[in-house]
Structure 1
Amino acid sequence: MKLPWMSRADRRRWRSARTVADLGELMARWLEGAIASRPGYQPRFGPDEETAHLVPTLAALCRTGYVTTCSQPGFAGTGADGLWWEQRAAVELVVTDHTRLPRLLGAARAAGMLVRVNDHRRGGVRDEPVVVTTRDGEPVTAFGGRIGRADMAIQWTGLDRGLYDQVAHGTYVSIAAPEYGPAGERLWGVLDFLTGLRREEPDDPWTRSAG
Structure 2
Amino acid sequence: MKLPWMSRADRRLWKSAKTVADLGELMARWLKGEIASRPGYQPRFGPDEETAHLVPTLAALCRAGYVTTCSQPGFAGTGADGLWWEQRAAVELVVTDPALLHRLLGAVRAAGMLVRVNDHRRGGVQDQPVVVTTRDGEPVTAFGGRIRRADMAIQWPGLDRKLYDQVAHGTYVSIAAPEYGPAGERLWVVLDHLTGLRREDPANPWTTTAPKES
Stretches of 4+ aligned residues off by more than 2 angstroms: 119-122, 201-204
Query: Equivalents in 2 of 1:8, 1:2: separation in Å?
Result: 14
Trace 1:171-190 onto structure 2 (pairs within 5 A): 171-190=171-190
The corresponding residue for 1:111 is 111
TM-score scaled by structure 2? 0.93
Native 8 Å contact 2:5 2:44 kept in 1: yes
Q: Which runs of 5+ in 2 are unaligned?
A: 208-214
What is aligned with 1:83?
83
Q: Is the 8 A contact 1:120 1:172 kept in 2?
A: no
Secondary structure (helix, strand or coil) at the match of 1:100 reads helix
Deviation at 1:157, TM superposition (A): 0.4
Partner of 1:142: 142
> Per the alignment, in what secondary structure is the counterpart of residue 167 of structure 2?
helix
Counterpart residue type for residue 203 of structure 1 = W
Among candidates 198, 202, 206, match of residue 203 of structure 1:
206
Q: Deviations along 1:152-190, whole A, 9 cap, x unmatched?
A: 101100001111111111000000000000000000000
Q: CA deviation at 1:120?
A: 3.4
Deviation at 1:149, TM superposition (A): 1.8
Aligned to 1:133: 133
Structure 1 unaligned blocks of 5 or more: 205-211
2:199, 2:168 → 1: CA distance? 33
TM-score, normalised by the number of residues in structure 1: 0.94
The residue aligned with 1:68 is: 68
Q: Partners in 2 of 1:147 and 1:78 — Cα distance? A: 32
2:120/2:148 contact within 8 Å kept: no
Number of equivalences: 204
Shift of 1:121: 3.3
Counterpart secondary structure, 2:42: coil
Aligned-partner SS, 2:98: coil
